Amino acid sequence: MKRHTSVETQARILSAAKRLFAAHGYQRTTIRSVAAEAAIDPSMVMRYFQNKEKLFKAATSFDLELPNLGKLDRQNLGRAMVAHFLKRWETKSDMQLLLRSAATHNSAAKRMHDIFQLQLVPFIKRYCAMKKAEQCAALVATQMIGLAFLRYVLKYPEVTAMPHDFIEEKIGATIQAYLDTL
């Protein structure tokens, strides 16, 4: 039987935790279920992460990977932001993990707030009046989180059926209005 290094074991635990938190949210994911998914003893999860809260925090450490939109014409910024978020939500499950968990757990909601505050606000400052950047970022977040919640968590049929171009055009116009008027 192959022995795994500490780094490999932690990676297996985090991978399992990300899958389970994304699928079941914070409340329904347990240390035991993560251990079973990683094919290890639950004591190993506790050894590396101490508790579920710290495991969740480690599993939700990620980057929004916000692009540099500086070369785009100003009137295309909203659409480009929506396109980026759609791609980001669909190519990596970590955002869905956090959104699903934030709806039922205060620490997850705070984690999401921190990520948007530390990443989205500085990003928006590049494209919106400095004095209104936090307001603008909050409004952008309402659109993107609402879209993501309906499309990827609730899987609302009318929203999941919408093609990317349509979403980019319609929600992009709303985000563009925030950028232009604030």
The band of 89, judged by pLDDT with boundaries at 50, 70 and 90, is confident
Q: Chain-centre distance of CA 109, in angstroms? A: 11
In angstroms, rounded to a whole number, what is the distance separating the alpha carbons of residues 181 and 177?
A: 6
Residue 155: left (phi > 0), alpha (psi -120 to 50), or beta? left
- Mean pLDDT, residues 31-54: 94
Residue-wise pLDDT for 104-123, tens only, equals 778 778 888 888 888 899 99
pTM over 0.85: no
Q: Counting Cβ atoms within 10 Å, is residue 155 exposed (0-12), middle (13-18) or buried (19+)?
A: exposed
Q: Which fold has domain 6-59?
A: Arc Repressor Mutant, subunit A (1.10.10)
Cβ atoms of 106 and 55 closer than 8 Å: no
64: nearest Cα among 88, 98, 90, 91: 88
The band of 2, judged by pLDDT with boundaries at 50, 70 and 90, is low
Chain region(s) in the chain for CATH 1.10.10.60: 6-59
